[in-house]
Structure 1
Amino acid sequence: MKHITALTLAALMGTTAAPVLAQEKGDMLIGLGLGWIEPDDGSNTLVGKVDADGALSPTITFEYFIADRVGIELLASWPFEHDLNLAGSDIGETKHLPPTLSLQYYFTNASQFTPFVGAGINYTYFFDEKTRNLGGASLDLDDSWGLALHAGVDYAISERGALRADVRYIDIETDATVGGTDIGSVDISPWVFNVAYVIKF
């Protein structure tokens, strides 16, 4: 009787075990989330200090595991839109897309929490620049290449799904031109805070 009871208890424990989101070679992850981008304090240019306000936008990630616990991830998003300030005064706005490719490592364990770290490269495409309070002068921001760092944690809610919280630091520095005159580089280099639902295929 004791032997049967022990087996029954073991079976019950097995059925109630917490889900674990394992990462194996050949797996794919898709994440749907919401990201907040918080730019750097800005840069001094020929016309004064230029900085950008924070922005919120939907994000999507796709990741393919080239080995157990090692994945290659591509981050994409709906365009982020920023107000631009010169010496504290509103001078216009811009939109940008920040696709980022990262190599990531997952610290797989037996718990529901799986932390990970990554590093990669970012390309930022600026577009739809508009000016205000500059007498009609045009604004142009060059596209940017830079390094990106990434860290986060997945909380498994099933064998295929997890909730994710992560943060990135992206090196974004763009050359700015106002009215056809180069005014210098603007260091945006933001922290990007993201929450998402990820599912494994």
Structure 2
Amino acid sequence: MKSLLPLLAVVSLGVAALPAHANDDAWVVRFGAHAVDPKSNNGTLAGMKAKVSGDLKPTASLEYLITPNWGAELLVAAPFRHNVRLNGTQVAVAHQLPPVLGVNYHFMTDRTVSPFVGLGVNYTRFFNIDGKGPLQGTRVSIDSSWGVAAHAGVDVKISPRWMITADVRWMDIGSDVHVNGTRVGHTTINPLAYGVSFGYRF
């Protein structure tokens, strides 16, 4: 986490430094669903190749438009569920929450179609981890993770206040894995999270 303190400071200072403006439509709330798709190679645990499955869950975000182009956004989601396999054998089921705080820049905000890009910080907390198969009955834990998150997408206005948003995020997620308190390796998930949501400006 110490390595991310400078990034957190930059994001916070960047948001604070952006000029405020009079805007009756300063907030956007979005509700939708996102699929978390981990990268194909998730590292080595106890000398065996690890594979983490993906999942699809409801998501919500709240964005404050500091200017017509700049917005500060918080993304939250229902807990994602992942199967963990070693050399093809399922050894655990893990749940995680990956809130993301970041800043977005919106292009062509006066148009019906407005693309955007963003950068932020992701915190992933793993919980309710159950050992399966050869790890049945053991205590499996996965450390929480801090990492950079990159964001890109497009807003499509369907009325002055309503929109449809399609987006994709890349998140830097990597954690140590422990079995009965002993570290057995490091898993690198680094997923893409892509989805669609409905948004409302107010």
3-state SS of paired residue (2:160) = coil
Contact 1:161-1:197 at 8 Å conserved across structures: yes
Tell me the percent identity.
Answer: 37
Per-residue Cα deviation, 1:96-122 (whole angstroms, up to 9, x for no partner): 000000100000254310000000000
1:101-120 superposed matches below 5 A: 101-120=101-120
Q: Number of residue pairs matched?
A: 179
2:69/2:109 contact within 8 Å kept: no
Q: In the alignment, which residue of structure 2 is the partner of 1:186?
A: 187
Q: Against the structure 1 CA distance between its residues 162 and 135, is the aligned structure 2 distance closer, same or farther, given a 3 Å change threshold?
A: closer
User: What is the CA distance between 1:50 and its match in structure 2?
Assistant: 1.5
Q: What's 2:75 paired with?
A: 75
Shift, 1:46, TM fit: 2.7
Give the aligned residue type for 1:140.
S
Structure 2 distance, partners of 1:153, 1:123, is 24
Q: Does 1:37 align with 2:30?
A: no
Q: Deviations over 1:9-35 (max 9, x none)?
A: xxxxxxxxxxxxxxx586100000000
Q: Indicate how the Cα distance of structure 1 residues 199 and 135 shifts in structure 2: closer, same or farther if over 3 A, else same.
A: closer
**Residue in structure 1 matched with residue 3 of structure 2 by the alignment:** none
| Paired position in structure 2 for 1:5 | none
- How far apart are the structure 2 equivalents of 1:39 and 1:80? 12
Q: Calculate the aligned-residue CA RMSD, in Å.
A: 1.6
Asked if the contact 1:50/1:86 (under 8 Å) is kept, the reply is yes
Specify the code of the residue in structure 1 equivalent to 2:104.
Q
Bigger mean CA deviation after superposition, 165-174 or 61-70: 61-70
Note the C-alpha offset of 1:45: 2.6
Matching residue of 1:100: 100
Residue equivalent to 1:16? none
Partner of 1:63: 63
In 2: Cα distance, 1:178 partner to 1:137 partner: 7
Q: Please state if 1:138 is matched with 2:139.
A: yes
Which residue of structure 2 lines up, in the alignment, with residue 18 of structure 1?
none
Partner of 1:150: 151
Query: Unaligned 5+ residue runs, structure 1?
Result: 1-23
Q: Which has the larger radius of gyration?
A: 1
| TM, length-normalised to structure 2 | 0.85
Q: Amino acid of the residue matched to residue 29 of structure 2?
A: I
Q: Which amino acid aligns with 1:62?
A: L
In terms of mean alpha carbon deviation, does 106-115 or 29-38 score higher?
106-115
CA distance in 2: counterparts of 1:64 and 1:109, whole angstroms: 14
Q: Tell me if the contact between 2:25 and 2:201 (Cα under 8 Å) persists in the aligned partners.
A: no
Deviation at 1:180, TM superposition (A): 2.0
TM-score (structure 1 length as normaliser): 0.85
The alignment partner of 1:67 has SS state of coil
Distance apart, 1:68 and its partner CA? 2.4
Is 1:91 aligned with 2:91? yes
Which contiguous aligned blocks of 4+ residues in structure 1 show a shift greater than 4 angstroms?
none
Distance in structure 1 (CA, Å) of the matches to 2:154 and 2:24: 19
Paired letter, 2:30: G
Query: Structure 1's 75 and 179: CA in aligned 2 closer, same or farther, altered over 3 A?
Result: same
Aligned residue type for 1:77: A
Please tell me the residue identity of whatever aligns with 1:116: F
